[in-house]
Amino acid sequence: MEIQDHSQRLLRDERFLLSQRPLVSQYECFPSGYENIRKKDCQDNPKKGIQTEQTGMIHQRRSIFMKASFAIVGCGRVGCALAGQMQRAGYRPAGLASKSLSSARDAAEQLGTELFSDKPWEVTKHADVVFITTPDGQIENAASLLADKQGVKKNAVVLHCSGSQPSTILSVLKPCGVSIGSLHPLQSFASKQMEGNPFENIIAAIEGEPDAVAMASRIATDLSATCLTIRTDAKTAYHAAAVVASNYLVAIQDLAFRLLALAGIPPENAFPVLGPLIQGTVANIKKVGTQKALTGPIVRGDTDTVRTHVHEIRRLAPDLLSLYQCLGRHTVLVAESGGNINEEKAAELLALLSES
């Protein structure tokens, strides 16, 4: 009785330890020394386990989800941020690699792992998901290196994080039996260690093969991002849109600030003056769209005001005139397509905004 009680306690302890481990719906083997206990256990409750005739061991099925393992190739700002947040979301680091061993070591220390290398195939070959987060111009070379070294396992998913490059630049890895795709976080990563979760509530643009898209979508969701599936063959257009919305917005505000300076308002006061207007315009775009959010002299067909602008900018800051006119011409098209001005007025404004 004492031996049996001891065995039962061992069994309970083992089950408790197993319950603390993340397993993926797999059969967990128990030592054959517990064979008799397990047989009785299975007879009492057949759903608890299945006996294996070849070994006499009992396999207990667990349905606890275990998230994929991942490797990062390129320990820059995006790679480090991605690794940290994936680990916090329950994904297991298989390793980190960088051209600079010190960069890989630093990134590994942040994760609390010793799995790092300057030879990427050493850490990627055991990963379920491989992220190539190198600069855009190095992605294809990194993929070729992994293919040459057979550094990815069959059925793995390989993703890059470029916004401008399609997943097809990873095609060299296809003979390895992997699924390729891309996951681009629509976010500006200012440093390797950002406060909070930089993926929270942002858009993650995803494209590629079905298995890669499914995995990328799952990861993005776990990182609290919103998934947006885009066309692989038109990814450049997506990236150009992001550049215009972010980078060109800065350039447009610089134009506005420089024109404001001509009126005697110093640069440090430019945003306090124009900030409410900028924020109000963005809010209107969100609420009613670009055509209905458009205000100002062009949407009113006020050619006299536009003519005055062109004349004064040519006199005070001729280097800014071409940009003002270019933006004005596109604004005319927006106003016309929204039905705010007729074709005749649009032609008049376009002629005025095309004068050299």
Whether 26 and 155 map to the same domain: the answer is no
Distance CA 35, CA 137 (A): 58
Q: Domain range spanning residue 35?
A: 2-61
Q: Indicate the residue among 210, 230, 250 that finishes a domain.
A: 230
Please name the residue that has the structure tokens 């111009």: 137
- pLDDT per residue as tens digits for the range 276-287: 999 999 999 999
Whether 207 and 270 map to the same domain: the answer is no
Residue 289 has pLDDT above 50, yes or no: yes
Sign of the CA dihedral 90, 95, 99, 104? positive
CA angle 294, 298, 302 (to 5 degrees): 135
Quick one: which of 85, 60, 83, 58 has its CA closest to 72? 83
Whether 155 and 261 map to the same domain: the answer is no
CATH number of the domain where residue 73 is located: 3.40.50.720
In the numeric block, which tokens belong to residue 232?
């692989």
Q: Indicate the residue among 11, 26, 61 that finishes a domain.
A: 61
31 vs 122 pLDDT, higher one: 122
Please name the residue that has the structure tokens 């260690």: 193
Q: What is the pLDDT of residue 65?
A: 59
21 vs 194 pLDDT, higher one: 194
Neighbours of 71 (CB within 10 A): 30
Quick one: which of 73, 132, 133, 123 has its CA closest to 98? 73
Whether 113 and 181 map to the same domain: the answer is yes
Q: Indicate the residue among 25, 44, 61 that finishes a domain.
A: 61
Q: What is the pLDDT of residue 234?
A: 94
Q: What is the pLDDT of residue 66?
A: 83
Whether 141 and 249 map to the same domain: the answer is no
Instruction: Output the DSSP codes for 164-232.
Output: SS-GGGGGGGGGGT-EEEEEEE-S---SSS-SS-TTTT-EEEEEESHHHHHHHHHHHHHTT-EEEE--G
In the numeric block, which tokens belong to residue 203?
């858009």
Whether 94 and 50 map to the same domain: the answer is no
Residue 343 has pLDDT above 80, yes or no: yes
Neighbours of 250 (CB within 10 A): 9
- As beta bridge partners, residue 27 has 61
Whether 165 and 212 map to the same domain: the answer is yes
Provide, for the chain, the percentages of residues in helix, strand and coil under a 3-state DSSP scheme, each rounded to the nearest 5. Answer: 55, 15, 30
| Total count of domains within the chain | 3
Whether 348 and 280 map to the same domain: the answer is yes
Whether 109 and 204 map to the same domain: the answer is yes
Residue 11 has pLDDT above 50, yes or no: no
The answer to whether residues 168 and 179 touch, using CB atoms and an 8 Å cutoff, is no
* Mean pLDDT along residues 225-235: 96
Whether 179 and 290 map to the same domain: the answer is no
Q: What is the overall mean pLDDT for the chain?
A: 85
In this prediction, residue 356 has a pLDDT band, given cuts at 50, 70 and 90, of confident
Whether 193 and 115 map to the same domain: the answer is yes
Q: Sheet holding 27-29: strands in order across?
A: 27-29, 58-61, 50-51
* Mean pLDDT along residues 237-263: 95
CB-hemisphere CA count at 13 Å for 252? 13
- pLDDT per residue as tens digits for the range 41-72: 334 444 333 333 333 333 333 334 589 999 99
Whether 91 and 189 map to the same domain: the answer is yes
Q: What is the pLDDT of residue 18?
A: 38
pTM of the predicted model over 0.85 = no
How distant, in Å, are the alpha carbons of 65, 168, 202 from that of 232?
A: 31, 8, 20
- pLDDT per residue as tens digits for the range 143-185: 999 999 999 999 999 999 999 999 999 999 999 999 999 999 9
In this prediction, residue 190 has a pLDDT band, given cuts at 50, 70 and 90, of confident
Residue 13 has pLDDT above 50, yes or no: no
